[in-house]
Structure 1
Amino acid sequence: MALNKELLNILACPECKGELELLPKEDGLRCPKCEVVYPIKDEIPIMLVDQAVSDKDWTGSKAS
């Protein structure tokens, strides 16, 4: 089951409140303004600032 598209429309970056982009593998939500990715684990977005991973450090669904 893919991430609910309605949920994606209402989610915002917890840091800057900006829009998020779903990554192609659907394993993270990217904030272009903050240049971080919030991981998605078991179809649940982890929207905690301290769990965000820098764009340059993002390795996909194996990121912790």
Structure 2
Amino acid sequence: METRLLEILVCPLCKGPLHYDREQQELICRADKLAFPVRDGIPVMLENEARELTPTAPNPSTPI
């Protein structure tokens, strides 16, 4: 994905910043906890195409 495109893309729901996950080929909105897919280098910025992010389990060695 082009860096210039990543600089201007925002979440279509909250207009917040997106973070590109190269491994999963997704654009992540941490505020809305959604992952938008990138297919063939094209971001699919539709809410109904996004998957919800599941909360990560706490690290047992990390004090709460």
Which TM-score band (shorter chain)? 0.7 to 0.9
Report 1:1-64 matches (<5 A). Answer: 3-25=1-23, 27-56=25-54
Number of paired residues?
A: 54
Report runs of 4+ in structure 1 exceeding 3 Å deviation.
none
Q: Taking CA–CA contacts closer than 8 Å with sequence separation of 6 or more, which of the two structures ends up with the larger relative contact order?
A: 1
The TM-score, its normalising length taken from structure 1, stands at: 0.79
- Structure 2 alignment gaps of length 5 or more: 55-64
Please report how far the alpha carbon of residue 49 of structure 1 lies from its aligned counterpart in structure 2 after TM superposition: 1.0
Structure 1 unaligned regions, length at least 5: 57-64
Q: Which amino acid aligns with 2:6?
A: L
Report the alpha carbon displacement of residue 26 of structure 1 after superposing the two structures with TM. Answer: 5.5
Report the secondary structure of 1:22's partner residue: strand
TM-score normalised by structure 2 residue count: 0.79
**Offset of 1:33 from its aligned partner?**
0.2
For 1:43 and 1:7, locate their aligned partners in 2 and report how far apart those are by CA, in whole Å: 11
